[in-house]
Amino acid sequence: MSLASTFRLARRLAVIGLGLTVLVAAVPPCRAETSVAVNASGLSDAEIESRITDLLGRMTLEEKIGQMFSNGWGPEFDEGEVSKGRVGMVSTVEEPEVMARLQRLARGSRLGIPLIFARDALHGYRTLAPVPLGLAATFDADTIRAVGRITGREASSQGLHLTFSPMIDVTRDPRWGRVVEGPGEDPFLASVFSRAMVEGLASGGLRATLKHFVGYGAVRAGRDYAEAEISTPTLADLHLPPFRAGIEAGAQIVMAAFSVLNGVPVTADHRLLTDLLRKEWGFDGIVVSDWDAVRELMPHGVAGSRAEAVEKAVMAGIDVEMAGGLYREQLPGLVASGRVPMARIDEAVRRVLRVKFRFGLFDRARTPEVDPVVAARAMATPEIRAVALEAARRSIILLKNEGGPDAGLLPLTRPPKRIAVIGAAAKDAGDLMGSWGAKGDRADVTLFADALRDRLAPKGVRVRYAEGCDDACLKTGGFEAAVGLAKRSDLVVAVLGEPWYMTAESTSRTRLGLPNRQQALLDRLAATGKPVVLIVLAGRPMVMVDAWPKARAILYAFSPGTMGGEALVDVLTGAVDPSGRLPMSLPRAVGQIPITYDLLPTGRPPSPGDTLAARYLDEETTPFLPFGHGLSYTRFAYSDLSVETPTVPLDGVARVSVTVTDTGARAGREIVQLYVHDVVASRSRPLRQLKGIAVVDLEPGEAKRVTIAVPVAELGFSDDDGRRVIEPGRFDVFVGGSSAATLTTAFEVVK
């Protein structure tokens, strides 16, 4: 069975599976959005294609090439080119007036071909939700979809049509700064993320770009812009599924990675961009390059001239060049010399026009000009802020609460009279907002220290603040004042971690503990003997080993966004039960990286005293905290794990049920996770793979029966040629609150 047909089968089964998934008595946390149709033009596919054929017949070569380039907006932008119909897409533009003016020029040009306006909006536009890694930490498709919708609503209200998001690179190396932009280490969660974000954005009126196709998330040693080596089966099983899921959800733009995969820069890789994406998957939208990536084929050493770089990129399958300007410069000559056939130009332009038709851009009634007054009122509305707040609450992870739900320091339901808040991040809007802030506005943010003070003042609590050190924490001058305040308080809340600018593009790091002198500050605070709650704000998983013993409770938040200060207070005070779960394993040491939960078994499993087993001499082999980990303020018990039928046919669906009970004294939200292990197969299979998630809200003492459907097609894997195989045999099932779940059962897949 080809990759494409297997995916089609998997999709059909997934649809069946989703339809039958029974989440008994569990109410979906946010209402699911209805996704917008791929074709929103009101025209049939045949009508669109014939309109395109007509336009292509009338376009000059210059006009065609104009559609194959995404201009950046800036002082050097030539509006006259728009009037001449030689511009197809404008990126990085944000003013509604400018977009309206440019669109008028484009619609008034000879053939009236409209522009696409695009900008990066990864986790909100003005109202920021948690960064994507934080959204992944919710483990909740409905939350991700809702964030997509508010992102879409704000951005489209300004006149934007397209965002360069979601980034769905599976990321397994926290040294890579771009882990902040993606869904973390797991392909199942990444696919849930991809689908939900594409649907959510579209329901808000903004179209998605799936990036970076493919393998950028696996750059060697986490060095940004480095190369990746990925075997065919790993590419097919780990890195491609989120792209497939996003395309199935309706994404019509794919951005090629500007990194090198298996020796070939993806920008020049015909096998990936054309053979796989177009021929096998049938993708008929636009492939856009990443920023300046066509020119970068020269420093990559696969093109000796600008002309050769363009020829390689365009012939590999890059339809639209982002930045660089080489297509416009080189394509006329390459077409004249026959090195790039006109048919390839027409093919690329057809794809661009097709997407413009599908977006409804040729129909002024469907895409009317934005009124700047209306646009100004459309952002940061109470409803949009409420969605961002809820997403932020759900993204926060309780890593540690010494004493557990009964005797833990958290939640602060009866807070002590004097609380010291320490750390620059407690008063920094940027650290809440995170990287890729789009139009995020610091004025919209309530700082954490202020939010805590305002919340607790009515209870007679004095919340006082000392910086300790600035965000980079290179100097210790502020330590004494912070320690003095800690001594005069009953509780210390230290807000530390990575400043927001330490995770994004080109921010690889080799040391992942608290940066610079932050650990020394935490040590000093702990030495006062006052109880310490540590809040880590960061964009990547950090090595928490040294910080761990210094705090009695630890909350971890991947930059939680505009409403993050309020959300942290909600979780700290117990107004909300923490339900964030780790979307990437936390390593014990940088030397363990990459470390993920889905390792293959080894012939020599670690065993105490065995000197010839898989081990490190100086460290455990397990992560510090596993994928999926996160605590609650209550306790959950799992019981009565069962499978509906002990055998399931190859084209069937396994239904696994479990009872989850809140055995604590508080209401809580559990993220039920289902993992499988294919016990004997033709290839060695991961010890565990996530295959199902259910979000369950429980009152104290309440029990719910949860059923998760697992289509057998999702249990297959790829062979050396990337062909998908599903083999009969026994599958072990593990269900619980993290990838370390112990409750187990099994079913047999039969022919």
Catalytic residues: 290
Inter-residue contact 118 to 163 (CB < 8 Å): yes
Burial category of 62 from C-beta neighbours within 10 Å (exposed 0-12, middle 13-18, buried 19 and up) = middle
Is the Cβ–Cβ distance between 731 and 749 less than 8 Å? yes
Report the residue number, 228 or 557, with the smaller CB distance to ligand BGC. Answer: 228
Nearest to 116 by CA among 80, 144, 138, 88: 88
Q: Of 467, 475, 483, give the one whose Cα is nearest residue 426.
A: 467
Q: What's the min distance (Å) between Cβ of 290 and ligand BGC?
A: 5
**Shortest approach of ligand BGC to residue 347 CB, angstroms?**
24
Name the DSSP class of 249.
T
Output 267 or 592, the one with its CB closest to ligand BGC: 267
Distance CA 418, CA 531 (A): 12
Instruction: Report, in Å, the least distance between residue 258 CB and ligand BGC.
Output: 6
Asked if 750 contacts 646 with a C-beta cutoff of 8 angstroms, the reply is no
Q: Where are the beta strands (DSSP E) in 55-172?
A: 69-72, 89-91, 116-119, 162-163
Locate 344 and state its tokens. 């390839």
The phi, psi pair for 550, rounded to 5°, reads: -90, -10
Closer residue to ligand BGC, CB minimum distance, 346 or 505: 505
Residue 237 or 290: which CB sits closer to ligand BGC?
Answer: 290
Closest CB 118 distance from ligand BGC, rounded Å: 9
Is the Cβ of residue 507 or residue 518 nearer to ligand BGC in the bound state?
Answer: 507
| Residue in the shown chain whose Cβ atom is closest to ligand BGC | 164
The stretches of 162-258 forming alpha helices (DSSP H) are 187-203, 232-234, 241-248
Cα distance between residue 574 and residue 572, in whole Å = 6
**Residues at the site binding ligand BGC, with contacts judged by CB under 6 A:** 120, 164, 211, 290-291, 505
Burial class (CB in 10 A: 0-12, 13-18, 19+), 690: buried
Q: Which of 470, 450, 556, 479 is nearest to 515 (CA)?
A: 470
Task: Give the CA dihedral 511, 515, 516, 519, nearest 10 degrees.
Answer: -110
164/193 with CB nearer ligand BGC:
164
Q: Which is nearer to ligand BGC, 505 or 719 (CB)?
A: 505
CB of 90 to ligand BGC, least distance (A): 13
Report the nearest approach of ligand BGC to the CB of residue 119 (Å).
Answer: 8
- The residue assigned the tokens 């996003």 is 246
Shortest CB 164 distance to ligand BGC, Å: 3
Residues 707, 656: contact at Cβ < 8 Å?
yes
Cβ proximity to ligand BGC: between 217 and 580 the closer is: 217
Residues, the chain, total? 751
We find the least distance from the C-beta atom of residue 437 to ligand BGC, in angstroms, to be 13
